[in-house]
Each structure stands twice: as structure tokens, then as C-alpha cells.
Structure 1
Amino acid sequence: MKGWLFAHFADLPSLPAAKGPVMVHHVPRFLSLRRNAGEERIALLVFDGLAMDQWIQIREYLAERVPGFTVDEGACFAWLPTLTSVSRQALFSGLKPREFASSIDTTSQEASLWARFWQDNGLRKSEVFYQKSLKRTEQLPELEAAISRPTTKVAGIVIDMIDEIVHGAMLGKRGITGQIGAWCDTGFVETLLLLLAEHDYQIYLTADHGNVEAKGIGRLSQGVVSEIRGERVRTYRSEALAASVPAEFGALRFDIPGLPPDFLPLYARTGEAFVPKDDQIVAHGGLSLEELVVPFVKINFMRDAS
């Protein structure tokens, strides 16, 4: 995978998105095409940190519980590094990371970037909705009040329970599976989907990045030298700072044209993380297939299902 990635990843951002997004920043453009094709109301659900195996678990749960539930399956690539501030901003803005360089280390501009994309594509600001930090059933009545307004045409919604579970994981992927199952049992996911369907939204579900199990190789003690101190990646603002990483960490350099020129990631090797030696964690930020390939699916409900 890594050989293919180094050879071809730089070609992905410019590929056409008409048949489906190849990368997450293609998603808004694809949804705009779907609106032009007659899908008047669209909801984009972004499950922060949802890996493909975890999507399959949720999909199978819904298939058993929700009558008429079907899925048009697909997948796309996250941006590298597979960090929320990089890949999720790309997802909501429709931009490459170098085009939002001033906010690349935060998610605070997502709502305005989402609104700006849709305003550039013919909608009024009042027709565009964005909400993050959604994860519990008791939040859904407030959401319904917003999405049920006749003026709302597109809704971008961040569900962050998976990311919260992953960052608190003590028992690896197996423990995460159990916690996702318990979360599904609360009815949140099915209630959210049925709510959107009831208000005539075409529902698309994706993620900003996945996650992978990794073993600690030791912390990089560099103080404030690293701009973003992730578990699977560190980013630096200059060549000199990037070169300060000790060689024994075996960090990988992979330069991508779509990143700002002063945003230089160094990645941990496969199965490794910049955390205390031998610690076992589940993390993201790196180059693995599990972190990089995310679901992009359309969720349908058969109207005649009983």
C-alpha cells in the first residue's frame, strides 16, 4: 500500500468527482451535482474518526433493526495527514488544505467554510445548516427544529462519538467494537437517520479519517518545536525543525502538493506511534489504509417497507 501511496496519492486530488468523490474534499462538489440532478434536500453526516470496519458494524446493526434500510456503498480517501483539522476541514470546505492554510490546525472555521461553499454554488446562507458535537438522542429534538425549517436545503452534521470512543480506548479495537455496539443500542443512529428521511433529506454518510492500532516507540520530547503533536504524525513549519527528529524514530517524510509549503508532516511507521514505549493505543494521523480509506455511502429507506 505504501509504495502505491507514494507513487499515486498526489494524482488523486485532481480526479473528477462526478461519479463519486475520490477524496473527501470532492464531497461537497459531488453533493452539489446531486442537488442539480434533483436531490433538493441533502444531509451530510460526518462520523468523526469512523474506520471502515466500524462502519460495517454500524451498517449491519441498522440492517437488522431498521425496516427498509439499504445502502449504496462507496469509499474515498481522507487527506494526509489523517488529522481532523486537515481532513475534516477539507471535507466541509471542498478545498485542498493549502487553500485553508490559516486554519489548518483548528476546526473552528468549518461552519463558515461549509456555508461559503454552498453560497458559491447558488444557495443562501439561511439555506445552509451546520452542527458539530452530535452524539446523544437527547440532542435530536433541537436538531429536528433546525432541519425541519422549509428554508434548510443542505445540512452538514458532525457525529463525534466514534472519535471520543477511540481516544478513550483502553482495550484496542475489540473494546471499541463493544462500545460502538452499546452506543447503537441507545437508538441514536437509527433515530437520526429516520428523522432526516422523514424530512425528505437524501442522506450521505462519510468520515474524515479512520483509525488503527499502534504500539508506542517513545515520545518525541521537542517542546513546542512540533506544530501538531499527534500520536501517528508530527507536523513542522520548516525543514530545519523537521530535521530535528532523531533518526532512531524512523519517521517517514511524504510531501504532498496540496498541503501548505510550511506544513511538513513526519509520520510514524506502520503499527507505531509517538507515545510511551510499548503502550498499545488506537490512533490516527498516519499513512495506513485503515486511517486513510473512509466510507462514503448513500443511505436509503424503501418507502413501502413495513
Structure 2
Amino acid sequence: RTRALCLIENKIDDLVHDATLGTKDFYASLRVWLEGYGRQVEKVIESLLARGFTVYLTSDHGHVEARGFGRPSEGLAVDTRGRRARIYSDRRAADNVQRSFSETILWSHDGLLPNGENAVWVLMPQGRSAFDTFNETVVTHGGPTLDEMVVPLLTITVEERDNG
């Protein structure tokens, strides 16, 4: 008997990344997707519940609407280029970019990030800004807001009814 089953649907993350007009764009696209595929998702959940499974719906991260405040052009000095975080293995490179983007936070050496010869420095925009085209609205993730870090978890079970 199958004891656990993991099904992954990446469409919502794809919709987040495709939303070029902010969260209104994302929710409009989500509504259209649910109109076309929502019933299929419901049928899968109903089928699993009928077979005695407990169904968990979750995500790997949240997302946030952010406004672009420019995109650094640091060439090879950056290890990872994200809209909400840029990762550097060279402190001087991170400091140089931070001088041009003063409304950022430089995160390092806190016991969570690698230290020593594998040390990294993470440069993140403050608030709801993004390393993107100036004034462009984007829906993205990877930053320090609760909206991006809190992982939703929904548990669906069949409730036993007492007929007495």
C-alpha cells in the first residue's frame, strides 16, 4: 500500500514570475488558471481523501510585490543575481554595490551563512524594493519579508461524523 505520495504543481510559481503588472496581474492569471484547472485539482484531492490519505498543501516560499530601484552591473563579481538578494563571495564587491544602492542590507557572519573560506555576503533591498528596472513593479521572492519567508501549510482530512 502506498503510504505517502508527493505531487508537485509549479504553475503558481510560474505565474508569480510571469506577473509583469504586479499582484493584480498575478491574481488575474491565477483566477484564469483555476477556472481551467481548479476542478482537476479538486478531483485529485477528493480522490486521495476517499482513499484515506491526509492531504497537505504547501509551498516552498511566499512572494511579494516589489518596485525596482535599479539593477547593479557588477559583472563577474556577483555569485547569484536575484531581484531580492544578490550573493557575493567577496566582501569588497558587496560593499561596492552597497555604496551605489544605499537602501540595502548587507547580511553576513550571523551563524547561519557560511563563514571562513566559504564565506558569503548577501545584499538585500530594504522593504519592498527589488534589484530591477527603476520603478518597474515585479512579483518576486528571495528577500527578508515575512510574506516571502512564511511557508503556508494547509491540512485537509475527512472528518468522522458521529451519527449518534
Do the two structures share a fold, i.e. TM-score over 0.5?
yes
Cα deviation for residue 270 of structure 1 reads 0.8
Aligned to 2:48: 196
The one-letter code of the counterpart of 1:252 is I
Matches for 1:1-306 after TM superposition, within 5 Å: 150=1, 152-185=2-35, 186=37, 187-250=39-102, 251-255=104-108, 256-261=110-115, 262-302=119-159
Cα deviation for residue 236 of structure 1 reads 1.2
Percent identity over the alignment? 32
The one-letter code of the counterpart of 1:219 is R
The separation in 2 between residues aligned to 1:258 and 1:205, in whole angstroms, is 28
Contact 2:77 2:90 in 1 (8 A): no
Cα deviation for residue 301 of structure 1 reads 3.1
User: Could you say what the CA RMSD is over the residues aligned between the two structures, in angstroms?
Assistant: 1.9
- Deviation per CA, 1:130-179: give whole Å up to 9, x if none: xxxxxxxxxxxxxxxxxxxx2x3223333211110011102211121122
The separation in 1 between residues aligned to 2:10 and 2:95, in whole angstroms, is 34
The one-letter code of the counterpart of 1:205 is L
Q: Return closer, same or farther for 1:226/1:184 CA change in 2, 3 Å cut-off.
A: same
How many residue pairs get aligned? The number is 154
The separation in 1 between residues aligned to 2:94 and 2:66, in whole angstroms, is 22
The separation in 1 between residues aligned to 2:123 and 2:136, in whole angstroms, is 20
The separation in 2 between residues aligned to 1:265 and 1:159, in whole angstroms, is 29
Q: Return closer, same or farther for 1:260/1:246 CA change in 2, 3 Å cut-off.
A: closer
Q: Which has the higher helix share?
A: 1
Structure 1 residue ranges without an equivalent (≥5): 1-149
Cα deviation for residue 252 of structure 1 reads 0.4
SS of alignment partner, residue 75 of structure 2: coil
Aligned to 1:144: none
Q: Return closer, same or farther for 1:158/1:215 CA change in 2, 3 Å cut-off.
A: same
- Deviation per CA, 1:54-77: give whole Å up to 9, x if none: xxxxxxxxxxxxxxxxxxxxxxxx
SS of alignment partner, residue 196 of structure 1: helix
Q: Return closer, same or farther for 1:179/1:302 CA change in 2, 3 Å cut-off.
A: farther
The separation in 1 between residues aligned to 2:47 and 2:89, in whole angstroms, is 44
Cα deviation for residue 246 of structure 1 reads 3.9
The separation in 2 between residues aligned to 1:156 and 1:223, in whole angstroms, is 39
Contact 2:114 2:120 in 1 (8 A): yes
The separation in 2 between residues aligned to 1:233 and 1:209, in whole angstroms, is 14
Q: Return closer, same or farther for 1:157/1:225 CA change in 2, 3 Å cut-off.
A: farther
Cα deviation for residue 190 of structure 1 reads 1.1
Question: Rg larger in 1 or in 2?
Answer: 2
The one-letter code of the counterpart of 2:120 is F
The separation in 1 between residues aligned to 2:122 and 2:11, in whole angstroms, is 27
SS of alignment partner, residue 205 of structure 1: strand
